[in-house]
Amino acid sequence: MIICETERLVIRAWRESDRDLFAEINSDPKVMEFFPHRRSRAEADALFDRNNRDISETGFGFFALALRESDGPLGFCGLARTHLEPHLPNGTIEIGWRLAVPYWGKGYVTEAALALLEHGFAQRKLAEIVSFAVPANTRSIAVMKRIGLRPDPTRDFDHPRVPETHPHLKRHVVYAVKAEEWKRYADVRSPVYSLKTPRERV
């Protein structure tokens, strides 16, 4: 199942052949720098299965991100339901991403995230999309700003699933954009990030 496509990327459901890449990005210390632990292969496989079920059942989740020219996976970018009461209402939709290190610095996350914001607002009729990160994660925060999200310090929170052994990773800053704000932003964004028509690939 393909969610959407851009000039360079396909955003789709995961395939069995993607498991190695998924495990790699969940265990790489550079990719997981701002998360409290790296996942074992068994933990990554369980998350892979759970995430694909969510995508199949709800259409929300962290989708595989692949290159159009080869369909080779490079990471993920998705729209997922949060479970962070009381900090964010359950069901709040977050946009998030994670890429294998060789693909950093090429603009892939920005391209995919802009496409998914358009998908979320135009196709799924969402009222708001949020994102959040540790303040020191300046790379992710820079992407949030580039795609039109704005800081909402009234909603910053200490992440309940970060253990006390990692106090420097507990605080998270929240960025958000509402549908009406996105419509204004979408009118002036670069055409390189425009969506192509989704298609099913056998």
Q: What is the pLDDT at residue 185?
A: 74
CATH number for the domain including 122?
Answer: 3.40.630.30
- The rounded distance, in Å, linking the Cα atoms of 142 and 100 is 18
Residue 21 lies in a domain: yes
- In the structure, what pLDDT confidence band is assigned to residue 96 with cuts at 50, 70 and 90? very high
Q: Which tops the pLDDT comparison, 190 or 94?
A: 94
**How confident is the prediction for the chain on average, in pLDDT?**
92
Residue 200 lies in a domain: no
Q: Token digits for 144?
A: 């949030």
- The rounded distance, in Å, linking the Cα atoms of 23 and 19 is 6
Q: Quick check: 193 pLDDT over 80?
A: no
- In the structure, what pLDDT confidence band is assigned to residue 188 with cuts at 50, 70 and 90? low
Residue 198 lies in a domain: no
pLDDT in tens, 47-92: 999 999 999 999 999 999 999 999 999 999 999 999 999 999 998 9
Mean pLDDT of the region 23-31: 97
Q: Which of 52, 130, 48 is nearest to 88 (CA)?
A: 130
Residue 108 lies in a domain: yes
How, if at all, do strands 128-133 and 171-178 pair?
antiparallel
Residue 182: give the domain boundaries.
2-193
- Burial class of residue 151, CB neighbours in 10 A (0-12, 13-18, 19+): middle
Q: What is the pLDDT at residue 184?
A: 83
The 3-state secondary structure of the chain, one letter per residue: CEEEECCCEEEECCCHHHHHHHHHHHHCCCCCCCCCCCCCHHHHHHHHHHHHHHHHHHCCEEEEEEECCCCCEEEEEEEEECCCCCCCCCCCEEEEEEECHHHCCCCHHHHHHHHHHHHHHHHCCCCEEEEEECCCCHHHHHHHHHCCCEECHHHCEECCCCCCCCHHHCEEEEEEEEHHHHHHHHCCCCHHHCCECCCCCC
Residue 10 lies in a domain: yes
Residue 127 lies in a domain: yes
Residue 176 lies in a domain: yes
Q: Quick check: 163 pLDDT over 90?
A: yes
Q: Quick check: 202 pLDDT over 70?
A: no
Q: What is the pLDDT at residue 156?
A: 98
- The rounded distance, in Å, linking the Cα atoms of 112 and 10 is 8
Residue 74 lies in a domain: yes
Total tally of structural domains belonging to the chain: 1
Mean pLDDT of the region 124-134: 97
